[in-house]
Structure 1
Amino acid sequence: AETSEDWSNLVPVNFADLPGESDPHRGYLVTANNQISDGGPYISLDFAGPARYDRIVQLIEELPNATAADMEIIHSDVVSLLAPSIVSALTTRVTQFAHPLGQWLIDQLAEWDCALSEESVEASIYSVIRRRWAESVGERLGIATPELGGPKWPSPESASRMLYEAAMHLLVDGNWHLVPGLDSEEDLDVALSACIDETLEELEQRLGEDNSQWTWGRLHRMASPHPLASALEQARHLHPPIDACPGDSDTVRCGSVIPETGERSAAASVARYVFDLDDWDRSGWVVPHGVSGVRGEGHDMDQRAAWLNCTLIPMAFTASAVEQVAAEYFEI
């Protein structure tokens, strides 16, 4: 049914009214899908949080002079600036967990460097317990409804991501009491303790009882399903391989997690590049697979290893540099 809140039109916004910055005195500009202005005009609800932006700024500020190699290091950074506050909120109020590894979990997170590397056990614990908390909030709010994905409703994937982020804000900002059934510190203790027990039980079921093997790379795997391969049995060979990768939604090296699909890397950088304005031939780039869409052609998957290792492929610019690396010539 039509309501007074339905969209009816797009409100035009003058370009001059949009937030912007030109030639900043600090010598650089940074964006990371974040909301760059707290004021109007209203252009979207869906922004990334500030963690990736803040981390990039932090790393750039440490550089006396930025080189292409420095940018490559920044591309590969997997430290989460959001993790410390979430870890503190998840673990400082818990006393009623029943799992024998409950205290071990808390101690591991307390000593964690907040780097979501492939080898990190703590990254796996952190990510699963975050999802468990979000699911707990969703159940209490009763918002997992059949309407999700229907007309005028967000998809289950989008809804789960929004719930995930909102649940973290409610906890970290101390507004957890707004969630039905969480009226006291005791209620919160019970809820978070249950999340700890569920996290440990889940990791044991998924990765085995040897907790030294609960590494992030075993959970966080980059799947890039080919649309045709998903639809036709004869095209299954078009699916790229599934590989472990570090990072999460809040790290510079982005490997977005959507709770609806678990800890899989649901999205990542479709291209990384660095342009050296002092010497364009020192520029570099890389894409997740390759530049050809023809499977088996040779350039369809030849950049994948470099992308996974977060290294850049030289980008030739001048005529002489292009001539040195050219493999084929085409005349049109």
Structure 2
Amino acid sequence: MLQANDSQELVDHMRDWVDPCNNLLFADVHGDMGYLCRGRIPIRSRLNGWLPVPGWTGEHEWEGDIPFDEMPISINPAEGYIATANNRPVGDDYPYYIAIDFTPEFRVKRVTHGLKSLDHPTAADMAQVHAQRVSIPALAYQDMLKAVEPLDESSESAKSLLLDWNGEMDASLVQPTIYSAMRDALLKEIFETNLTEDLANDAWHPSDRGLGSFSNRLKARLAEMIGQNDLSLLKQGDTWATVVARALANGVALLTETLGEDIDEWRWERIHQARPKHNLSTAFPELAELLNPPAIPASGDGDTPLQGGYSSATPATVTSLSVARYSYDPSNWDDSLWVVPLGSSGHPGSHHYFDQSETWRQVKMIPMGYDWEKIEASCESQQTLRPG
């Protein structure tokens, strides 16, 4: 990869790539760009993707690998841009099974919206795409709320706020907090209805690492089911309007208990925070305050390009975020930008341990640095590594 002279050469170098199978996006100094789903993917039945299958019967054998030339690829598309956000990269007409564990298309749609809203963008303009925080499911729930009869006065106030909202999951707003609490309460009720209360409680356990991934996919499916008026997961006699009314009341009750009665103080930033943890802080809790970087209030959620995903069991802790933001300019590498959530040093004693946090929170970036003369002129220290 590091020796490729152009995009086509880079693609050719990927022919023998085995793992991980992932999205590779690229651009070169000649003005070419592309996308490649790289890695070896076996040819197998679509039925193999849902549940484990017996491997000893000979009925579920792989039939070789998807040929490299038939892997999902796009070079210089007519649209003039490429957008991807862990969504399914192929349509239903693609002849091979790849996987079922793709994220919904909410984020990639907002990325596309951000890209198309820019005219001759610079590397710095890409921050506007990184900052996209409108939640498509939130807008869908707004439509449902119009038919909801609130169960109490607090729910009525919460409903009014949600209907007077543009769907932005902004840290300074209270609507994202109400919407998320309502949606999580709805998910919990769906669990209890279909799994029984005991199993639902087991599935809701915060230590269950699978909950976040599974629940986010079910959340996306519920938004679709509401739009289709699919009642198959509801109790007999219920409608989405009645279930959402209960979810709104339960969510508001939980927020009142945890954040107080003043609804104007329920800002998303109060509970939705990234809480970075040093690996040694658990072993040495007395040093946790020195080892752990400060918490970072975060906008967004799991459905927005400005990623801020969380587990419904622990909504106060962001577990999925953009660990690095980049914007490259192949026409002038010195214009390239980047930022990370913390800093460039992993040493808790360094002032670079988390000095990028505020820049990252504000969805800004810093120069990447390619010109060695400029780097040497501006660097604050140098380190020389010699073999022992």
Fold equivalence (TM over 0.5) = yes
Alignment partner, residue 54 of structure 1: 109
Task: Tell me if the contact between 1:282 and 1:314 (Cα under 8 Å) persists in the aligned partners.
Answer: yes
Alignment of 1:228-247 (within 5 A): 228-236=280-288, 237-247=290-300
Matches within 5 A, 1:23-42: 23-39=76-92, 40=94, 41-42=96-97
Q: What is the rounded CA distance, in whole Å, between the counterparts of 1:231 and 1:180 in structure 2?
A: 45
Is 2:363 the partner of 1:298?
no
Matched, 1:325 2:378: yes
Tell me what 1:178 maps to: 232
1:77 aligns to 2:129 (yes or no): no
> Partner of 2:263 in structure 1?
211
Alpha-carbon distance in 2 for matches of 1:147, 1:197: 23
What's the offset of the Cα at 1:212? 0.9
State how far apart, in whole Å, the 1-side matches of 2:183 and 2:109 are.
21
Identity %: 26
Give, in angstroms, the shift of residue 245 of structure 1.
1.1
Contact 1:273 1:285 in 2 (8 A): yes
Counterpart residue number, 1:110: 163
- Equivalent residue for 2:246, pick from 194, 197, 204: 194
Q: Secondary structure at the match of 1:129?
A: helix
SS at match of 1:229: coil
Any stretches of 5+ residues in structure 1 without a counterpart? none
Contact 1:51–1:251 at 8 Å: present in 2 too?
Answer: yes
CA distance in 1 between counterparts of 2:282 and 2:214 reads 23
TM-score, structure 2 normalization = 0.76
Distance 2:217 2:118 in 1: 35
Q: Tell me the equivalent position of 2:27.
A: none
- 1:66 maps to 121
1:145 to partner: Cα distance: 5.7
Write out aligned runs for 1:213-292 (5 A): 213-236=265-288, 237-292=290-345
Matching residue within 38, 58, 66 for 1:13: 66
CA deviation profile, 1:59-79 (whole Å, cap 9, x unmatched): 221222011221112212212
Is 1:93 aligned to 2:147, yes or no? yes
Output the CA distance in 1 between the equivalents of 2:116 and 2:258.
41
Q: Which amino acid aligns with 1:320?
A: E
Verify the 8 A CA contact 2:273 2:296 in the aligned structure 1. Answer: yes
Please tell me the root mean square deviation across aligned C-alpha atoms, in Å.
2.5
Is the Cα–Cα contact under 8 Å of residues 186 and 247 in structure 2 kept in the other structure?
yes
Deviation track 1:184-229 (CA, whole Å, cap 9, x = no partner) reads 53xx443222112112211111111111111111121111222321
Please name the residue that 2:15 is paired with.
none
Give the aligned length.
Answer: 322
Question: Would you say 1:165 and 2:217 are equivalent positions?
Answer: no
Separation of aligned partners in 2, 1:292 and 1:62: 36
Q: Indicate if the aligned counterparts of 1:99 and 1:200 stay in contact, CA closer than 8 A.
A: no
Deviations 1:130-163 (A, max 9, x none): 11111111111117368869xxx97344333343
1:227/1:113 CA distance change after superposition, 3 Å: same
Q: Quickly say closer, same or farther: Cα 1:38–1:260, change in 2 above 3 A.
A: farther
Residue identity in the other structure for 2:143: S
SS at match of 1:230: coil
How far off is 1:234 after superposition? 4.5
Of 157-166 and 97-106, the range deviating more from structure 2 = 157-166
Q: Which has the higher mean CA deviation after the structures are superposed, 270-279 or 44-53? A: 44-53
- Residues 68 and 217 from structure 1, CA distance in 2 versus in 1: closer, same or farther, beyond 3 angstroms? same
5+ residue gaps in structure 2? 1-50
What TM-score do you get using the length of structure 1 for normalisation?
Answer: 0.88
Contact 2:328 2:335 in 1 (8 A): yes
**Is the CA contact 1:68–1:283 (under 8 Å) kept in the aligned structure 2?**
yes
Change (3 A) 1:234 1:9: farther
CA 1:18–1:295 in 2, change beyond 3 Å: closer, same or farther? same
The answer to whether the 8 A contact 2:191-2:200 is kept is no
Q: State the Cα distance separating 1:125 from its structure 2 match.
A: 0.9
Q: Is the 8 A contact 2:339 2:366 kept in 1?
A: yes
Alpha carbons of structure 1 residues 225 and 163: separation in structure 2 relative to 1, 3 Å: farther
**Contact 1:157 1:261 (C-alpha < 8 Å) held by counterparts:** no
CA offset at residue 22 of structure 1?
Answer: 0.7
Residue 329 of structure 1 aligns with an amino acid whose one-letter code is: Q
Partner of 1:119: 172
Aligned to 1:44: 99
